[in-house]
Structure 1
């Protein structure tokens, strides 16, 4: 019989053991080995059965065992020390408190997913793992951050394989009461609720679960409430599930409901109200609209002034150059959910829709240009960019790609000036460094000892692989008697490559199979064999990704190869830890430049694993011959013939493994000892690359480059300043059609190296004053198309007042510090102290072609 209702019973702990609850409910145990070992010792068998989840373990531990522990003075002493150490961690000053400068009093970090630990399965891949590492590093540094997300009652999905290797999705029901969560309640114990108004007068209510990530609270909104209608109850059913309206409601709940949950949390706990709001991708974009509503209703600001105030304190991080990674909704669907009979009724709906509308006449960010006559879709990334004053990509290369991708929002500016910067992702070392490697510095161990440690980690990985493979084959229908061969799968003395990630087409799961005969020779080489462990999930709606998995699985099922290549289903955080620590080489072969950052290779590097990767994402900026190998790319062939590109890059991959990677690993010298060059690379990876890839470095950069400037702008832009800035922006936009560069004069003398070119420029400013604009000369080397390379900006100064025609004269000098082709142009930009960049408003006036018809050494033409 099936139960009609399911619930979890939490144990009643003896008073002396109550600190166990405190330790289990703070997720710091997931990255603190001493706490984890103490919790495991409560019931080692129960710990293993619970998958290392202390809350689940405590719910099953026997009363007799609890009584035994309560009488164990040694255990109680260890428990007391651990609890006191946690309290010190939560209250002592850390890096942030010791900085001695004015920093944000609070930061809200919104993300659709968070990968903290396998015990809280609220993530699908890199975006969520990055968010989890961001929270953990913020906690370790003492950054006053609050995370905001959704609680998915079915998580993402659990993956198994059918008999023929097809991905199967399963959605187990998650019970929040059985996870490290507590409900946010009022002082009288009543659960806090937030609600959205839906069309037709219906309501979407949500309760708020709290997770403690060290010092950082994480608020997760949950719509599974009895008072909701069934459709609304299921809004937070699955991560990235459902159709357009389902996803829209999820993102409204995350952005709008998340702000309301945050306000309730701060009211109840006394936590300072955040000064900075950080959107981790566009899924939380509606938070800006909710804050515009707040400022309108609470401070009397109109839409424009409220928008300026919201932008000042908002940070937006884009994570993908892939169209499928950006949510776009039909505008009529968004319009139906906002307005007089729906949500944010006090806002001008047309103005709200404008914030997410893709720019006309340009390729749509995240997709193809909208067909003529068709309404533009509502783009969540565009919404994020228009409601945040500070924006960034997640690696240097991704910053460049993002500036090009979204340049249509800033017409008239070269992509290099688009105001999107970059902060390269990092990973949380205490989470991803194997316990055996934590105290290892390359110089503290002999080559022989370090080589032996790496072998032991490889051997432990292989045992884990065999257990998981046996489970997978049983799920696929194999009889236990058929599976004796699994005991021979993989070899602890063979070079082991790892490839594990989500399975969209651009990550090219099956590039390694491009030439199957060559791959077979690599796997079965008599002296230098290779073995490969592969894992990954395709999105449930991605039939192409599922076919790639099936193709790989069928190859790995070959009885001649299955002891050398395996596919492990249900890739997640628990499996990832074994892979990162046990593999020798981490493989990454995306289509450049579609990998925004890609942090799995960073986690592997922390464990002494070398990288074998296309120069994309983080590897593009930190690749080094001491850290691994670069797979050459055929970028120019990508658009015209992707099959040819794949063949070229796969051949390069095979060649690297055959000629460099495997020989380096197996070169044991005459005495059969550790491979000398390989160990040099392992040491360099640990000592030199390791410090670069840390999430602590990443969070420090966010604090210094984005959070602190945003907090200062937030403080300076009070209601009056916001109104003044909005009035300035409206005036500039109204008058800009009358702004122009009318004449440029650079004198008569031919330019020479070391000399100067005097500039005199006559401009029309419409109805604007000179203090509302900046007139600049932009100068630098030029290419054969007269395009300025590495341009340098020279501000020009007004000379006197306006002439009888209302024109203004500006002047300045260009220093000729480089020989060769040289050029300049002149432009006019808006200027205001509260603008974060001169491109922020997307307005620029450039010389017309008529102005450029002047002698060769004058404006806009080469100076040779």
Structure 2
């Protein structure tokens, strides 16, 4: 069934990019964090580069959640509903998938991402909230990552099986299927059943798979009893066990076995993935961020004046050394003022113009270690008494991550204890918009994951487009992006297994003995580091480069 809204999209075969979450706009809660924001950046770059891609995701009508922080630092979750009819067009096709013996009907909303030129990417948002379905089934596409394993598996049936059927019903010709993480792995089952007639070779020829998770516990696994009940006749148990694992159905293993191209999201992550899944060839395509989206207005204007093609060719920024230091610093000060205004508005805290602003923002969970900076409050106070220092922090904990919620409370308690020596603020309800203001307005971007648990990380890449250097543990992308003293600074050394207290000591040493003295005593030297950050990391870690590599290595392969 061809739709007038899709007429221009059906002329050429497209790569179908499947992701449980895609960040389309800061105000639309179709994302929870890094995976969704990355997927949105990939789609925005595809639009800029006029690549033939179609995005497929869930509508997530009830969103992820809106975060409230109580006076004691406790996270409270509130619904974050949105109306897709106000932002997207309903498409005429409906398809059904069998779930637990019932036909569950699915429609799709069309959202378009406009590129820098004429390129536009269609994104399909799958929606089960239809009168044909029961009340229970209508809620399948409501909550992003909500509910129990049964609810999650129902969502992944809709995404994978329903997504393939929707593309066919709308008249798309798909040249490749790109699975962004294992949530979409059941699309391979649909391809096996409907087109390949049980043969794995044709499916492998059509599928590329990107894994993002470097820890075994992070991969979706389901008991076969649940899989058989929900899939019904589609559950060929012998086939599923052979391709998905003997003990339980592992979505990642299923995707690995049925994808002809597999990649991790950083060089170090690809190495970790090869060890986790021996026998599979895992390539490395490091993540990147979308240039226009993550560059502050002041730096956009600066780049537009000096490098008119930078939005499509970020490599032009390697000539940043030609720009005078005063212009770089003036653009940074504008970004700082925008962040300071946000902090005043949202937190009631007035930050100091003369202090170094250290920012930390990401999902609040144990391995991200938001508490590392606060390991020794006396040491941190001592540093701040020598050099004015202030902290801006943000991030959500998953509603079921009790340890992550405790970390948020602990951070608030520490900010309170430090109040006399260090001004600090925790910005609630972290969104793309807040991320943009923080990564541009920071003086230094802090990242302290527990190696090797950071697959990639992209917040420091966003900071790089604004000349903000990173101070980070060597893990994920920073193992490729860190040139000591040029693009920022490392906490510890590569391949080091350090106790938290040791990483904290190294963090305090680098901050107090290297970073702060340079900021306060050598402004020219500091601006050179800003230029190094732009000229090396913005040039390399952008989603245009990532999508071009996917196109050349994953999409166009024979």
Residues 326-384 of structure 1: CA deviation (Å, up to 9, x unaligned): 111111111222333xxx3xx734213432115xxxxxxxxxxxxxxxxx111111111
Normalized against structure 2, the TM-score is what?
0.91
Please name the residue that 1:507 is paired with: 368
Residue of 438, 441, 459 corresponding to 1:582: 441
Residue of 231, 245, 268 corresponding to 1:338: 231
Cα distance in 2 for partners of 1:559, 1:357 equals 50
Alpha-carbon shift at residue 195 of structure 1 (Å): 1.3
Cα distance in 2 for partners of 1:383, 1:557 equals 48
Does residue 299 of structure 2 align to residue 437 of structure 1?
yes
Cα distance in 2 for partners of 1:279, 1:216 equals 17
Whether the 8 Å contact between 1:339 and 1:349 is mirrored in structure 2 is no
Cα distance in 2 for partners of 1:637, 1:706 equals 34
Please name the residue that 2:509 is paired with: 655
Does residue 489 of structure 2 align to residue 629 of structure 1?
yes
Cα distance in 1 for partners of 2:341, 2:140 equals 40
Cα distance in 1 for partners of 2:329, 2:146 equals 45
Please name the residue that 2:134 is paired with: 229
Please name the residue that 1:319 is paired with: 212
Please name the residue that 1:120 is paired with: 28
Give the alignment of 1:253-264 within 5 angstroms.
253-264=158-169
Alpha-carbon shift at residue 597 of structure 1 (Å): 0.7
Cα distance in 1 for partners of 2:216, 2:69 equals 28
Alpha-carbon shift at residue 635 of structure 1 (Å): 5.8
Structure 2: gaps (5+ residues): 115-119, 304-319
How well do the aligned residues superpose, as a CA RMSD in angstroms? 2.0
Alpha-carbon shift at residue 322 of structure 1 (Å): 2.3
Structure 1: gaps (5+ residues): 1-24, 27-89, 92-96, 98-103, 186-191, 359-375, 411-417, 471-485, 639-644, 669-674, 713-864
Residue of 281, 287, 290 corresponding to 1:425: 287
Cα distance in 1 for partners of 2:301, 2:81 equals 39
Give the alignment of 1:62-461 within 5 angstroms.
105-178=13-86, 180-185=87-92, 192-199=93-100, 201-214=101-114, 215-265=120-170, 267=171, 271=172, 273-295=173-195, 301=197, 303=198, 305=199, 307-340=200-233, 344=234, 348-358=236-246, 376-407=247-278, 410=279, 418-441=280-303, 442-443=320-321, 445-461=323-339
Whether the 8 Å contact between 2:113 and 2:122 is mirrored in structure 1 is yes
Cα distance in 1 for partners of 2:54, 2:219 equals 24
Whether the 8 Å contact between 2:464 and 2:533 is mirrored in structure 1 is yes
Cα distance in 2 for partners of 1:122, 1:430 equals 20
Matched length: 530
Please name the residue that 2:539 is paired with: 691
Cα distance in 2 for partners of 1:401, 1:164 equals 39
Please name the residue that 1:859 is paired with: none
Alpha-carbon shift at residue 588 of structure 1 (Å): 0.6
Moved more, 514-523 or 146-155: 514-523
Cα distance in 2 for partners of 1:637, 1:391 equals 28
Residues 164-185 of structure 1: CA deviation (Å, up to 9, x unaligned): 211110113211122x211012
Quick check: which has more Rg, 1 or 2?
A: 1
Cα distance in 2 for partners of 1:171, 1:619 equals 35
Normalized against structure 1, the TM-score is what?
0.60
Alpha-carbon shift at residue 558 of structure 1 (Å): 3.6
